[in-house]
Amino acid sequence: MSINQGTASTVDAVIVGAGFSGLYLLHRLRGLGFSTRVFEAGGDVGGTWYWNRYPGCRCDVESLQYSYSFSEELQQERNWPERFSAQPDILKYANHVADRFDLRRDIQFETTVTRAHFDAARRRWSVETDTGENIAARFLIMATGCISTAQIPDFDGLSDFAGETYHTGNWPHEGVDFTGRRIAVIGTGSSGIQAIPVLATQAEHVTVFQRTPNYSLPCQNGPITDEYARSWKDNYAALREEQRHTAKGNIRELNNESALAVTQERRAEMYQKRWAIGGAGFLSSFNDLLVDRAANETAAEFVRTQIRSIVRHPATAELLVAKDYPIGTKRICIDSGYFETFNRDNVALVDVADTPIERITPGGLVVDGRSFEFDAIVFATGFDAMTGTLFKVDIQGRGGATLRDKWAAGPRTYLGLMTRDFPNLFMITGPGSPSVLSNMMVSIEQHVDWVTESLVHMRAENLELMEPTLKAEDDWVEHVNVVAHKTLFPLAASWYMGANIPGKPRIFMPYIGGVGTYRSICEAVVADGYRGFAFDAGAARVAAAE
- Site of interaction with ligand NAP (CB under 6 A): 58-60, 147, 153, 168, 186-192, 194, 209, 211-212, 331, 334, 352, 357, 380-383, 436, 495, 500
At residue 123's C-alpha, the angle toward residues 119 and 126, to 5°, is 40
Q: Check if the beta carbon of residue 218 is closer than 8 Å to that of residue 196.
A: no
Question: Helices H, strands E: what count in the chain?
Answer: 17, 20
Select 13 or 184, whichever has its Cβ closest to ligand NAP. 184
DSSP-H helix ranges across 72-223: 72-77, 87-100, 190-202
Select 399 or 502, whichever has its Cβ closest to ligand NAP. 502
Select 27 or 331, whichever has its Cβ closest to ligand NAP. 331
Give the separation between CA 200 and CA 206, rounded to whole angstroms: 6
> Residue 426 CB, nearest distance to ligand NAP (Å)?
23
Q: Comparing C-alpha atoms, which of 426, 420, 421 is closest to residue 458?
A: 426
> Residue 190 CB, nearest distance to ligand NAP (Å)?
4
> Residue 257 CB, nearest distance to ligand NAP (Å)?
28
> Residue 402 CB, nearest distance to ligand NAP (Å)?
26
Give the separation between CA 331 and CA 417, rounded to whole angstroms: 23
Q: Comparing C-alpha atoms, which of 437, 522, 429 is closest to residue 25?
A: 429
Select 59 or 477, whichever has its Cβ closest to ligand NAP. 59
> Residue 178 CB, nearest distance to ligand NAP (Å)?
19
**Amino acid making up residue 267:** R
Give the separation between CA 496 and CA 490, rounded to whole angstroms: 9
Select 243 or 381, whichever has its Cβ closest to ligand NAP. 381
CB atoms under 10 Å from CB of 433, counted, come to: 30
Select 286 or 383, whichever has its Cβ closest to ligand NAP. 383
> Residue 124 CB, nearest distance to ligand NAP (Å)?
35
Give the separation between CA 57 and CA 193, rounded to whole angstroms: 10
**Amino acid making up residue 441:** M
Using Cβ positions, the residue closest to ligand NAP within the complex turns out to be 189
> Residue 60 CB, nearest distance to ligand NAP (Å)?
4
Select 79 or 170, whichever has its Cβ closest to ligand NAP. 170
Q: What is the DSSP letter of 224?
A: P
Write phi, then psi, for 73 (nearest 5 degrees): -65, -45
